[in-house]
Amino acid sequence: MTAADLVGRRLCFGLPGPDLTDADVRLFRETGAGGLILYRRNLGSPARLLRLVADLEAALGRRLLVTTDHEGGRVIMLGEGVTIFPDGLAVGVGDEPALAERQGLIEGRELRRLGVDLAFAPVLDVLGTGYSPNIGIRAYGTDPARVAALGAARIRGLQAEGVSACAKHFPGLGAARVDAHEELPVIDAGWDELRRTHLEPFLAAIVAGVDAIMTSHPLYPRLDPAPRTPVTFSRRLVTDLLRGELGYRKVVISDDLEMGAVSALAPIAEATVRAAAAGHDLLLVCHSADAQRAAHAALVEAARAGTLPRRETEESLARIDQLSGRRAARAAVGGPRAEPDGDALARDLARRAARVVAGTVPRPFAAAGATVVAVFPRLSALADRITVEAAMRDEAAYVQAACAPLGVRPRVEVVAVEPEPAEIARVAAVAGAADAVLLFLYDAHLHASNRALLDAIQEAARRLAVVLMRDPWDAEWLRPGVVGLTAFGWRCCQIEAALALLGR
C-alpha cells in the first residue's frame, strides 16, 4: 500500500446532506477516508439515512466505519427511530447502574437498525464545582465513582447489542470553563488531581472493554507544559499515559479537528498531523470538504516525509480494522424503529432525577379558576441546529398538554430563545396580571437575555415556579419564595417529570 492509501483510512468525515452526491463519492474515493460521522443534516428520514450509507459504500466498493454522537439528552444527532433519553446528569442523579445498562441495550438495538457501528458515548467527564458551559448536564456528575459505575454499565449495554461505545473526553473535560467548540479551554489540574478524580471513569471503561476512547482539546499545562500543546497534540497524554501507563490497546479517536479550540492553535493541516503523531488512530474532520482534503494532503505529505512512521500507521489501521470487522452486516434486521420499552425507561430515568431545587411548592400551585401564564422558549427555531422532539416543535400545544395532568390550562407565551428587551417587557406585563406563572428558563448562565427575562418575571409575578430547562446552575439566581424545579434537561420526559412535582 502507498502512503496515501494508508493514511486516508485514519480519517473520519461528515457529509453535507441527506442524499449522496458525486462530490461526496469523489471526496471519499480520492482521500480513502475510512470513517463516516452522521449528523442531523444527514437524517432526511431513517430510510434515507440507510440509503445514504449504502449508496456510498456501494460506490466505493468498501465498508466504512459509521459513527455518530448519541449521548442522550442534549446531544442526539439521529432523532428518529430511537428513544430520546434524558441527559447524563439526570441519569447520574438517579444513580442506578442497572438502568444505565438497560439504556445502553436499547440504544444499541436502535442504532444498529440505523446502520451505526460506533456511538460517541458515554461522556465520562467528571464535573468540577464551577459552571461548565459545554459539558454540564452531559456528564453523570461530580463523583468519580458514580461516573465510573454508570459509564461502565452503559458501555456494557451498548456493546452487548453490537454498537461499539466510545468513552469521552480523555483525560477529562468536566472542569473546562469555556466551550471547546468555540474557544481553547485551559484546565489547571495536576497529576494528583487527575489520578484522584478524572481518570477513574476511564479506567472503569477500559476494564469494561470499551472499544474506543475519544480525547478533546483542552490545555493541561501542568500535565504537558509544552507550549500550545492541548491533549489533542500531546504524545505525553495520548501515547505515554493512555497507551503506556493505562495500557489501552483499542482505538483512540480525536475530537473534531475543526473546532475553535484547535483552529486557535493551528491550521487544519498542521492539526491533523500533530493529532496523528500524538497517537490518535482515527481523526475526525467533520464539516468542510476543504478542511477534509487539506487534512488528507497533510497526512500524505507527513507519511512520505517520515514524520508519521509507517509502523505506527499500520498499527492504527489494524486497530480500526478490528473495530470495523466486528459487524458483518451494515444494519440489524427489522428496519429502523424505537424499542417499545424505551419511552417508559426514559420517563423512569427522568422521574428519578426530578428535584425541587429552590423554594417550597405551594399546594395547590394554582387554585381552581386561577389564571396561569406559562412562558416557554421557541425551541422550534433551533431545530436546524439541535434535535428538537416533534412534540415540542409546536411549543404552545406542547405546554398545554404537559400541564394538563396538573389540572392547569395556562395561557402560553412563546418567546425567543434569546428574547429582546421589548419582548421581555411584554411578557413580564402579562405575567404580572396572572395569579401564577410558570417560567421555562433556558440557559440564563449562557444568555444574558434569559437572565433579564428571569429577573423581570420574578419582579412581576405574584406566584412563580421556574423549570430549569438545561442548566440547574441557574437556580442561584432564583429569589426567595420562587420555586425552582429541574430534571436536569429539557427533553419531553424531563420537562414532564419536573412539572409533575407541582402536582404531588
Indicate which residues carry an active-site annotation.
Answer: 181, 255
Cβ-based neighbours of 290, under 8 Å, separated by 6 or more:
none
Which 3 state secondary structure label does DSSP give 341? coil
What's the alpha-carbon Rg for the chain, to the nearest Å? 23
Residue 405 identity (one-letter amino acid):
P
Instruction: Output the nine-digit C-alpha cell for 413.
Output: 407565551
Question: What does residue 376 show for φ and ψ, rounded to 5 degrees?
Answer: -135, 140
Query: CB–CB of 110/163 below 8 Å?
Result: no
Query: CB–CB of 350/491 below 8 Å?
Result: yes
Instruction: Output the nine-digit C-alpha cell for 301.
Output: 505529505
Instruction: Output the nine-digit C-alpha cell for 16.
Output: 453535507
Distance set, CA 352 to CA 135, 469, 497 (Å):
21, 16, 8
Strands 212-215 and 75-76, by their bridges, are unpaired
Task: Determine the Cα–Cα distance for residues 434 and 443; give it in Å rounded to an integer.
Answer: 24
Q: What is the DSSP letter of 41?
A: G
Which 3 state secondary structure label does DSSP give 285? strand
Query: CB–CB of 365/436 below 8 Å?
Result: yes
Return the exposure string of 352-379: e unless at least 16 CB atoms fall within 10 Å of the residue's CB, then b: bbbbbbbbeeeeebbeeeeebbbbbbeb
Q: What is the DSSP letter of 219?
A: B
Instruction: Output the nine-digit C-alpha cell for 2.
Output: 502507498
Both ends of the chain: CA-CA distance in Å?
67
| Virtual torsion, Cα 108, 111, 115, 120, nearest 10 deg | -90
Task: Determine the Cα–Cα distance for residues 193 and 463; give it in Å rounded to an integer.
Answer: 44
Which 3 state secondary structure label does DSSP give 290? helix
Query: CB–CB of 86/353 below 8 Å?
Result: yes
Neighbours of 288 (CB within 10 A): 15
CA nearest 213: which of 149, 247, 167? 167
Question: What does residue 357 show for φ and ψ, rounded to 5 degrees?
Answer: -105, 0
Strands 436-441 and 411-415, by their bridges, are unpaired
